[in-house]
Structure 1
Amino acid sequence: MHKTIVLLLLAEIILVPSSDGAKVPAVIVFGDSSVDAGNNNQISTILKSNFAPYGRDFDGGRPTGRFCNGRIPPDFISQAFGLKPFVPAYLDPMYSISDFVDGVSFASAGTGYDTATSDVLSVIPFWKELEYYKEYQSKLRAFVGDAKATQIISEALYLLSLGTNDFLEDYYLLPNRRNQFSVDMYEDYLSGLAAKFIKDLYALGARKISLGGLPPMGCLPLERTTDFLQGNGDTCNEEYNKVALNFNGKLSGVVNNLNQELPGIKVVFSNPYFILQKIVQNPSSYGFEVAAVACCSSGLYEMGYLCNRLNPLTCSDADKYVFWDSFHPTQKTNQIVSDYVLRNVLSQFL
């Protein structure tokens, strides 16, 4: 049996919570396209993925608005905690408060900590995700009653995953923030926004929070392509990777400070950087064949509307690829990263 399959089977055995073990009653999600389950479908933005070939490996082959061929990390995390195998999008009209009791995603593809980032592609700003959460709390209290809602709110696991867009779609792409901040100052600005958001969540009753770090964003196919076109060869953009590492260090510091500052809170830092770096550097060890190019079309620059079923070049087996489109991992990569984070960080909530 292939080593990767054995490891995944072991991970599934480890991560199934026992009936008498500690489990969270809900998984509540904030962030960007790494965790958007389809909220962008309901807003006026070009950044959508509610069409084929997106979702072709999701249950029923449905394009849900997830930027993936299948499931994304909150889906795997929800299932590992004994909840639904997917976390629905808050704005999806297919669902109502009865579907959100044990999990809901407020995430919006293209957003960032910085409101200026969400303005780039007219998506839901981070602060608005919190407003939707407040609305959700009111609906939850009306649906299950005050006591039960308070218990769900305080015991739920909150997942935050964003930040990549602040650098790649804002700071390095547009001049405004670069004119205002050095990259180090911008990291400080963003980490301050992350801390404020968690404090706001805490004031609303949240106690179990996972703050997600940045991936090695210089190794995304889009950035490798940009680097290649600039004459630097087909390699990862190490400048961007160093920024991601440095920013992750600051986010880790935010986590440490908040755990000391806020009574009763438990914040953890879920860092995907090193596991994704290992996968990209040695894809065959994880059962992949291709890491530099994505599955969709040429795999060099397509995402959203540029990744569509009219293009005949999209790969037939996404499980061979680390990346689905030029910016987002495949379902298989998402599962490996989720299993890693669950075993090494989130297992303390099981």
Structure 2
Amino acid sequence: MASRFRNLFFHRLLLLCLPSLAAASARVPALIVFGDSTVDAGNNNQIQTVLKSNFSPYGRDIAGGRPTGRFCNGRLATDFISEALGLPPLVPAYLDPDYGIKDFAQGVCFASAGTGLDNATSDVLSVIPLWQEVEYFKEYRRRLGRYVGKARAMHIVREAVYIVSIGTNDFLENYYSYVTGRFREFKVEEFEDFLIDRAADFLTAIYTVGARKISFTSLGAMGCLPLERTTNVLHGGDCIEEYNKVARDFNVKLQALIHRLCSSLPGLKLRYAPVYDGLLRIIQNPSAYGIENVAEGCCATGKFEMGYLCDQWNPLTCKDADEYIFWDAFHPTEKINRMMAQATLRTSLAEFI
């Protein structure tokens, strides 16, 4: 009962904090999402990869308790953003056969868990590379044109809000895992620059298709993920400061890229969504947010499990995910996703709604 009350309270608080839904809906015809597991609504369900979450207890706090392929106990930040814009409360995955172009006309997710800016990152777990997400976007625009007409389709594409959330896997799954060999090719500062160049290529590509109003999410404090804390046993399981510094340095370079692209691409409104400081504030002062555990995930032991290692038969999974920042060892809980959505709506998306 207490958990349901908190969920209702936070839902109402979210609506009170946001602009008029009717006004926002009139200005924003669709929400279009690119990225990785932070925003994957279930595309990985449809591909051959071990990185899936279409089983319990994932999705246990979504209405009906249905696992959708979201790496969370409930909804993602993009789902809350969509609802706040007066659009559907769940952003559909483009590869989900239960949805069609009628649904995608109001919102669509091309993201794939485990992918990155570097194509080598998607190869690690055989997921959808970012270039393929762009190809799906091009296909989507063609399908949209056949459904609503070319003029209306271009209006939707140009007036839609775009969310991009990607980059963590490039470091933790790729560079620091030593799987791809990138650590031999680049110093970490050089790898950051390489990723920034890939981000520029991607953003230019979707701009060419028609994207104009884009929010690019900063890297979070990735050294504080439970999985990384678990590997840091020699230092008491603290956050890995080296990884957090890389995130901060990358974010500075990302902001410079945003400024550069906005100056060179006419009509582009590319904005930076600052999540690093917000997440770190919660980690450093959890009681202020009703959080009891910041070092472990809710699922299983919370130290290293995600995907298939986080299953419904583990007796250690917590009863109330709202007491945790992390759902599994890598991904935030629905509560934190709701808070990140609020922050994004107040910052990078504010001028679009």
Please tell me the TM-score bracket, short chain as reference.
Answer: over 0.9
User: Are residue 97 (structure 1) and residue 93 (structure 2) matched?
Assistant: no
How far off its partner does 1:338 sit?
1.1
Counterpart residue number, 1:201? 206
- Which one-letter code corresponds to 2:176 in the other structure? Y
The 5-angstrom pairing of residues 271-282 of structure 1 reads: 271-282=274-285
How far off its partner does 1:345 sit?
2.1
Identify the match of residue 327 of structure 2 among 317, 324, 328.
324
User: Are residue 131 (structure 1) and residue 135 (structure 2) matched?
Assistant: yes
Identify the match of residue 183 of structure 1 among 188, 193, 198.
188
Conservation of the 8 A alpha-carbon contact between 2:14 and 2:342? yes
The 5-angstrom pairing of residues 103-114 of structure 1 reads: 103-114=107-118
Counterpart residue number, 1:168? 172
The 5-angstrom pairing of residues 266-345 of structure 1 reads: 266-345=269-348
How far off its partner does 1:12 sit?
2.2
Conservation of the 8 A alpha-carbon contact between 1:4 and 1:287? no
Conservation of the 8 A alpha-carbon contact between 2:219 and 2:247? yes
Conservation of the 8 A alpha-carbon contact between 2:299 and 2:318? yes
- Which one-letter code corresponds to 1:221 in the other structure? P
How far off its partner does 1:191 sit?
0.7
**Structure 2 CA distance for partners of 1:232 and 1:254, relative to 1, 3 Å:** same
How far off its partner does 1:20 sit?
4.0
Q: For 1:177 and 1:20, how far apart are their aligned partners in 2?
A: 47
- Runs of 4+ residues over 2 Å off in structure 1: 2-12, 16-23
1:112-132 per-position Cα deviation (integer Å, ceiling 9, x unaligned): 000000000000000000001
The 5-angstrom pairing of residues 1-350 of structure 1 reads: 9-17=12-20, 19-20=22-23, 23-174=27-178, 176-228=181-233, 231-350=234-353
1:65-118 per-position Cα deviation (integer Å, ceiling 9, x unaligned): 000000001101111111111100000011111110010000000000000000
- Which one-letter code corresponds to 1:12 in the other structure? L
1:29-87 per-position Cα deviation (integer Å, ceiling 9, x unaligned): 00000000000000000000000000000121000000000000110111111111110
How far off its partner does 1:297 sit?
0.6
**Structure 2 CA distance for partners of 1:307 and 1:28, relative to 1, 3 Å:** same
Report the aligned-residue RMSD.
1.7
How far off its partner does 1:8 sit?
7.0
How far off its partner does 1:196 sit?
1.1
How far off its partner does 1:3 sit?
12
* TM-score, length-scaled by structure 2: 0.95
Q: For 1:245 and 1:347, how far apart are their aligned partners in 2?
A: 23
Matched pairs, number? 347
* TM-score, length-scaled by structure 1: 0.96
- Which one-letter code corresponds to 1:194 in the other structure? A
Conservation of the 8 A alpha-carbon contact between 2:21 and 2:85? no
Conservation of the 8 A alpha-carbon contact between 1:220 and 1:326? yes
Where 1:291 maps in the other structure, the secondary structure is strand
Conservation of the 8 A alpha-carbon contact between 1:4 and 1:286? no
How far off its partner does 1:6 sit?
7.8
Q: For 2:351 and 2:57, how far apart are their aligned partners in 1?
A: 36
1:295-336 per-position Cα deviation (integer Å, ceiling 9, x unaligned): 001000000000000111100110111100000000001001
Q: For 1:30 and 1:7, how far apart are their aligned partners in 2?
A: 26
Conservation of the 8 A alpha-carbon contact between 1:78 and 1:87? yes
Q: For 2:348 and 2:238, how far apart are their aligned partners in 1?
A: 30
Q: For 2:248 and 2:322, how far apart are their aligned partners in 1?
A: 27
Gaps of 5+ in 1: none
How far off its partner does 1:147 sit?
1.1
How far off its partner does 1:17 sit?
2.4
**Structure 2 CA distance for partners of 1:8 and 1:41, relative to 1, 3 Å:** closer
